[in-house]
A and B are shown apart, each in its own frame.
Chain A
Amino acid sequence: MGQTLTEKILARAAGKARTEPGENIWVNVDVLMTHDVCGPGTIGVFKQHFGPTARVWDRDRVVIIPDHYIFTKDEKARRNIEILREFAREQQLPYFYDVGTERYKGVCHIALPEEGHTRPGEVLLGTDSHTCTAGAFGEFATGVGNTDAGFVLGTGKIWLKVPPTLCFVYEGNPPPWITAKDLILATIGLIGCDGATYKAMEFRGDALAQLGAIAADFAGTAVNERGVRFNPLIEERMTLCNMVIEAGGKNGVIEPDDVTIEFVEERMKAAGTYRPYEPLKSDKDATYEAVYTIRVDELEPVVARPHSPDNTAAVSELAGEPLDRAYIGSCTGGKLFDMIAAARILAGHTVKIDTYVVPATSEILQALDRVRLNGKTLRQVFEDAGCIIGPPSCGACLGGPLDTLGRLNEPLRCISSTNRNFPGRMGHKEAQVFLASPLTVAASAVRGAITDPRELLP
């Protein structure tokens, strides 16, 4: 009997021929990532249990990306970055993307592939629940806590239960106004925000080769000084995998294809992080716990209402709901694709409500000055529309310190391209957050109320 991609990756990492769902196995970890919020606690666990002078198991496999609380005056937040800095120095870690230097990146889940740390067939763990984003590259990627991460720092191993796999097949040709954010919100609405708890979510179907159409004419544009090219399809696959955690999923995964290989090879070579890797695919006779088929050509843009990502509705059902704020950013909705999609709507319009645009990484921020839409840079488009552009970081997606740009310090009604809308997520616990695609967020910013992006697409 065949195995799913997730089962095959875990079996290989455990040195076994095969694994079964439910089996507990010890797995060798290929990359461990941590950041400023969970890094200090992880380092604390590591030192407590392995000793004050212990060395990490493999310094080439530890990646530290400060991204959460960067542009704040909070002294403890700054102290936490200093703890990371000291640890990176002491352990001589080559992959530390320090704040205030040219290496500073921003949101870890977007920085990992940008810097060539995502490879098909590998096992990637991170002290952040959205580590699952990297499943878009055909690897096993999941979030862990400080204790697990401290254990991995010392041993390079982790204890995992092999998850059963749910298969989601997206069929049909997505219309240009349907983004991966709509697909994943529709999927979470279908199975609920605990519908994939302890399970792997594997995404398949012909639509996975056609995502990103709204930005397709920018594909191949050089986005940084290394000449690396923009890939809207890959970015949309990342959005799909990013939000499996909002369905409770252990990991999300997409089989690697030629597009994946081209992307990761280009990134690794540009960043100097190349190492051999071996892609895997699901067997044709793999056993899935369940298979869901979703026709994307019939989908309407989707919005998740307060206070849960599974509280979904078609945008038409909510049209006209008044709003106070719009937010475009985060690992989910702050990539270059999301910037281009939003700009397509905002060009030639003025926003009616406070609208924040926070690119996920410094590379994307720079691309705002490189990428042009009808002769204007994306930065000009956003500024002319009256948006506030913030520095790259996790920003107000998770609220953060009180001085975080865009944080909901009042009980406002906000539409956001981010990933979570549980009470208090973006700051005030009585605030109302609607989750939507960057197209829907931008259209709603223009009208000051929830708006179907099809009404404003040129």
Chain B
Amino acid sequence: METRIRSLAYVLGDNIDTDQIIPARYLVYNPADPEEYRMFGRYALSGVPTERAGLPDGRIPFVRDGEYTSDYQVVIAGKNFGCGSSREHAPIALNAAGVKAVVANSYARIFFRNAVNGGYLIPLETAERLCEEVRTGDVVEIDIDGCLLTNITTGKQYRLRPLGDVRPIIAAGGIFNYARQAGLVPNQPDSSSA
């Protein structure tokens, strides 16, 4: 698990739901197919209304036309990030686009769980309204162990909440690795069980 992340930040508001993270029309792709997995990166955050895409100014595409990954590896948002549907395609889309961490005031439960259990990205929480402090394009550095986000562009620092219970699952790379370490699932896929 990467414990220091330095990247350009992409800033969004409150209640960014899963339809904004990956619009339903793209759910026809199968994330189990590596080629199709890339397509989720291409359309990540394409459902955010143009005026609110990349705050505070808006009108900043998260992924440039024709690309599969984003220049932004950290997303900063307000409260209730990932609300709406249970589609795992949402954290998958952010992962496919290259996002390493999201920093939000709060998360919808299923998005948070999917992000952790699938090992797609690190969902961090902060009590501060970072989405009103940080501008899209600022360089930020996250220190996971120190629970700190530094805005390199402005020099300001912000506290993050500790990961708590979910840290060992994130560190293991997702629920399957975690469960294997705990002896809950077999170590190797058993191909003789048919």
Q: With a CB–CB cut-off of 8 A, which chain A residues contact B106?
A: 194, 197
Tell me which of A24, A49, A245 contacts B185 (CB under 8 A).
Answer: A49
Tell me which of B23, B87, B175, B184 contacts A38 (CB under 8 A).
Answer: B87
A54 close to chain B: CB less than 8 A:
yes
The answer to whether A51 touches B191, judged by C-beta atoms less than 8 angstroms apart, is yes
The answer to whether A159 touches B31, judged by C-beta atoms less than 8 angstroms apart, is no
**How distant is B41 from chain A, measured CB to nearest CB, in Å?**
15
Which residues of chain B from 15 to 49 have any CB-CB distance to chain A below 8 Å in the complex? 15, 17, 19-20, 23-25, 27-33, 36, 47-49
| A-binding segment of B58-66, B76-84, B135-143, B146-154 | B76-84
The answer to whether B84 touches A420, judged by C-beta atoms less than 8 angstroms apart, is yes
A50 close to chain B: CB less than 8 A:
yes
A446 close to chain B: CB less than 8 A:
no
| B-binding segment of A1-9, A72-80, A370-378 | A72-80
A128 close to chain B: CB less than 8 A:
yes
Q: With a CB–CB cut-off of 8 A, which chain A residues contact B83?
A: 193-194, 248, 422
The answer to whether A37 touches B27, judged by C-beta atoms less than 8 angstroms apart, is yes
Q: With a CB–CB cut-off of 8 A, which chain B residues contact A193?
A: 15, 80, 83
A48 close to chain B: CB less than 8 A:
yes
- Evaluate whether A420 and B108 lie within 8 angstroms (CB atoms) in the complex, with A37-B27, A51-B191 already known: no
Interface core residue of A52, A161, A400, A424 (most chain B CB under 10 Å)? A424
The answer to whether A148 touches B117, judged by C-beta atoms less than 8 angstroms apart, is yes
- Evaluate whether A154 and B185 lie within 8 angstroms (CB atoms) in the complex, with A37-B87, A398-B24 already known: yes
The answer to whether B86 touches A145, judged by C-beta atoms less than 8 angstroms apart, is yes
- Evaluate whether A69 and B86 lie within 8 angstroms (CB atoms) in the complex, with A151-B175, A198-B109, A429-B47 already known: no
Q: With a CB–CB cut-off of 8 A, which chain B residues contact A422?
A: 15, 17, 19-20, 83-84
Q: Beta-carbon contacts of A134-146 to B below 8 Å, as 1s and 0s?
A: 0000000001111
B110 close to chain A: CB less than 8 A:
yes
Can you sample 17 A-B contacts with CB below 8 Å? Answer: A40-B31, A44-B31, A50-B190, A76-B28, A76-B30, A128-B86, A143-B86, A143-B110, A145-B86, A146-B88, A146-B114, A148-B175, A151-B176, A194-B108, A197-B108, A398-B24, A401-B28
Query: Which residues of B are in contact with A by a Cβ distance under 8 Å?
Result: 15, 17, 19-20, 23-25, 27-33, 36, 47-50, 79-80, 83-89, 91, 106-110, 113-114, 117-118, 165, 174-176, 179, 184-186, 189-194
